[in-house]
A and B are shown apart, each in its own frame.
Chain A
Amino acid sequence: MLLGLLKNEFIKLFAKKKTYIIWGLFILLCVMLVIVSESSERNYLKYSSPKAQVENLTNELANQETYLKSIQNDASLSEEDKKVNEEQAGIYIESLKEQLESAKASLENSTKMDWKGELEARIKEQQKTVDSISDTDARKDQTRELERLKLHLANNVPLDAENYNTGINYYVLNVIMIAASFLAIGLTLFNGDNVSNEYNPGTLKFLLVQPVSRIKVLLSKYIVMVLSSTALIMVTQLLFFLGVGVIKGFGNFNRPYLVGLKYEYAYQNGQKYITEVSGSGHYIFLWQYLLEALALQLLFLIVIVTFVLLISTISKSSVVTMTVLICAILGGNIVYNLSTTYRKISPFIFLHYSNIEDIITGRIVMRTGSFLFTWQTVAGMSALTAFLFLGISLWVFKKRDIQI
């Protein structure tokens, strides 16, 4: 019977135009993220790669030499001004020449695919830095950086791997950006009227005069809401990851990623503030980071869908449901940005579990001022909140008189 109800709910979902419109919008958003990721890579290659640096420096050198000639031929300048300007331009040109030599050497190394040699050299330099530092805190920070460099080398990951539009880099970007910007509102639009639209018109009456318990009716709706939302968001993301991966390469899954930063109170001039514990945190591989991000995204998705179910069950009107949900999401964010006190209690409010990157890295503590904002709190509170909301929804739905 529950299977029949589930099938019914899926058929209803896919018979609605709204489903395809929201899916289309999400696909569009994913395409926009591909464009953003691609243009970031191009910008990197244009302005930051060794080849781009050689080109830029060559152009700048040519410009400065032209400028130097123009100063020498400028009759309007006094001899004294000419001398000063020529001196300054000369120093700058010399500096550019040095930079150009260095960039050319770097380009030569990179074309020989000897980024490893360069990285080994950098590791040696970093080791020297670590050894030379006497300050304990600074030493810890530098040791952490040394560890990062060694992990890159050990796992065969170039240092600039994060700058390319590869499958895994895109996937991480997509999960982080979608959770932070689209998920709550998107899920509200997708699921907001799932129960309330059965009240008006009163199709719910037809459903509830069938010999099936109200609990099963609402549970079937909830299960389909969770499954369809997961498919809408996470399957689409996976397909885009595969698409970008096939075209651009899947990238380095073992790139080290710093997470689990710790913070502590420090005092300066009588004021208390939060500061990062030197050398805190540890490195995990990018694929591990991605899995954690996906798990947090799924938890956030479930708790938001359960919240939508609760409001949709209570309100009986799709318009009221949408208004309440959007006000709660936007209002919560406004208060979060304005109130320090609210930010401190935000670890216990599910609406603020969308900043997945900061939750995993630990930086969320710095943003909110609450040491309780950890992924463990987020996971526990998400489960508790979802359980509570689902329980209330089922109770209301079971007990309510259907006066429609």
Chain B
Amino acid sequence: METVLKVENLYKNIGKRPIIKGISFSVKEGEIFGFLGPNGSGKTTTIKMMVDLIKMDAGNISIMGYNIKEKRERALEYVGAVVESPELYSYLSGYENLAQIARIRGIPKKKIEEAVELVGLTGRIHDKMKKYSLGMKQRLGLAAALLPDPKLLILDEPTNGLDPNGIIELRNILKRLAREYGMAVFVSSHILGEIQQLCDTVAFIENGVITSIESMTAVHETYIYVLETAKSEETYKRLISIEGIGNIHEADNGYTLELKDRKASEVLRDIINAGIEAETFSRHLKELEERYMELIKGGIR
């Protein structure tokens, strides 16, 4: 698959303070790439450099093979982006806001209607944008980014202000665009669940450094389960001896177990057979959070 976005050795100082310290990654056609990190870690600064809102001090960014420094306009032809909040002109209608972009890019009006329909704003598109809720603004921002049929869609915290239905719809839209149209989607977020359910690949960033880039498939292969039971040294020893249990960590009411290469049902049977009183045994829903804590916060606490 073709590489749509390539970021190499990117550096940026603001004043004398280094904000981005040599990050590199690439995003391929049809890939949904999550950019995960705490507030102030450098996510938005990286995005702003990707779309040339701010200049990089060193490094290279190329979109569809075009260097953003040398061929800015050519590179941006392939990009649809919403950077931070989707701020459009509040005194114009939603439709006119999209028409403004269409005029700059030479996009026919028919495409506006398609984008509006895709994001579910058909009934309200001729209202002034100042009457929109935050969720509607997010949808309009997405429509604006999708208008040019971009090869690379960049979304910064896209679920801000969306209700649960909106979040699910957005997720489905993005997955469909990636799978059916081969669009590369770059999503930055500090919300783990959002990244976990949406992305194929996730890059963890902290203090301007990418600590790890992992395939979500690999993350999902490492199952973490919570075993609720009385904690004792004896129980711990018995758990260690059971096949398929990797790392064991103490939790509030028992242990978290990292399972590898065995089915959970088989491991549970061995736990019971080992004489451990299992109150509950459940799959941990926050496996990415565990990984996040390991990478960003220096380990599970």
Footprint of B on A, CB under 8 Å? 1, 4-5, 7-8, 11-12, 15-17, 201-203, 205-206, 208-213, 399, 401-403
Closest 3 CB pairs of A and B: A4-B103, A401-B54, A211-B76
> Is the CB–CB distance between A5 and B92 below 8 Å?
no
A360 to B53, CA, bound (A): 47
User: Would you give 24 A-B contacts (Cβ < 8 Å), ordered by A?
Assistant: A5-B103, A5-B104, A11-B96, A12-B89, A12-B91, A12-B92, A12-B100, A15-B89, A15-B92, A202-B85, A202-B87, A203-B87, A206-B86, A206-B88, A206-B101, A208-B53, A209-B51, A210-B76, A210-B105, A211-B73, A211-B77, A401-B53, A402-B48, A402-B54
A213–B72 CA distance with the chains assembled, in angstroms: 8
Contact check, B84 vs A202: say whether CB atoms are below 8 A apart: yes
CB distance B91 to A16 under 8 Å? yes
A17 to chain B, nearest CB (A): 8
Q: Looking at the assembled complex, report how far the CB atom of B147 sits from the nearest CB atom of chain A, in whole angstroms.
A: 10
Q: Are A211 and B92 in contact (CB under 8 A)?
A: no
Known contacts A203-B88, A401-B53, A401-B54; decide if A209 and B83 are in contact (CB<8 Å): yes
In contact, A206 and B53 (Cβ under 8 angstroms): no
For residue A200, give the distance in angstroms from its CB to the closest CB of chain B.
Answer: 9
Task: Tell me whether B53 and A402 are in contact (CB under 8 A).
Answer: yes
Complex CA distance for A8 and B98, rounded to whole angstroms: 11
Q: Which of B66-104 contact A (CB under 8 A)?
A: 72-77, 79, 81, 83-92, 96, 100-101, 103-104
A342 CA to B144 CA, complexed, in Å = 52
Q: How far is the CA of A11 from the CA of B77 in the complex (A)?
A: 24
Tell whether, in the assembled complex, residue A213 and residue B92 are in contact, meaning their CB atoms are under 8 Å apart.
no
Residue from the set B14, B48, B54 with the largest chain A CB neighbour count within 10 Å: B48
A314 to chain B, nearest CB (A): 17
- Which of B73, B89, B144 is A213 in contact with, Cβ under 8 Å? B73
Instruction: Kindly identify which residue among A8, A205, A211 contacts B83, using a CB–CB cutoff of 8 Å.
Output: A205
Beyond the given pairs A202-B84, A205-B87, 9 more chain A to chain B contacts, judged by CB atoms under 8 angstroms and listed by A's residue number, are: A8-B104, A16-B91, A203-B87, A210-B104, A211-B74, A211-B76, A213-B72, A402-B48, A403-B54
A15 to B144, CA, bound (A): 20
Most buried by A among B54, B96, B101, B103: B103
B298 in the interface, Cβ–Cβ < 8 Å? no
CB distance from B160 to the nearest CB of A (A): 14
Asked whether, in the complex, the Cβ of A209 is within 8 Å of the Cβ of B73, the reply is no
Determine whether the beta carbon of A201 is less than 8 Å from that of B87: yes
Measured CB to CB, the closest approach of chain B to A72, in angstroms, equals: 80
Contacts A202-B85, A206-B144; is A11 near B100 (CB within 8 Å)? yes
A17 CA to B86 CA, complexed, in Å: 23
Bits for B50-73, please: 1 = Cβ < 8 Å to A, else 0: 011111000000000000000011
Q: Is the CB of B164 closer than 8 A to any CB of chain A?
A: no
Inter-chain contacts of B52 with A (CB < 8 A)? 208
Task: State A7–B92 Cα separation when bound (angstroms).
Answer: 14
* A202 to chain B: closest residue by CB: B87
Chain A hits for B104, CB < 8 A = 1, 4-5, 8, 210-212
Contact B76 A209 (CB under 8 A): yes
| B106 interface residue (CB < 8 Å to A) | yes
A87 to B293, CA, bound (A): 116
* Residue of B76, B85, B86, B87 with most chain A CB atoms under a 10 A cut-off: B87
A171 to B230, CA, bound (A): 96
**Chain A hits for B103, CB < 8 A:** 4-5, 7-8
* Shortest Cβ gap from A235 to chain B (Å): 24
Partner of B84, one of A1, A11, A205, A212: A205
Task: Check A212 against B144 for contact (C-beta < 8 Å).
Answer: no
Docked pose: A373 CA to B55 CA in angstroms: 45
Determine the chain A residues whose CB is within 8 A of the CB of B73 once the complex forms. Answer: 211-213
Q: Which residues of B contact A401 (CB under 8 A)?
A: 48, 53-55
Residues of B within 8 A of A205 (CB): 53, 83-84, 87
Within the complex, the shortest CB–CB distance from A316 to chain B, in Å, comes to 14
Which residue of the partner chain A has the closest CB to B75?
A: A211
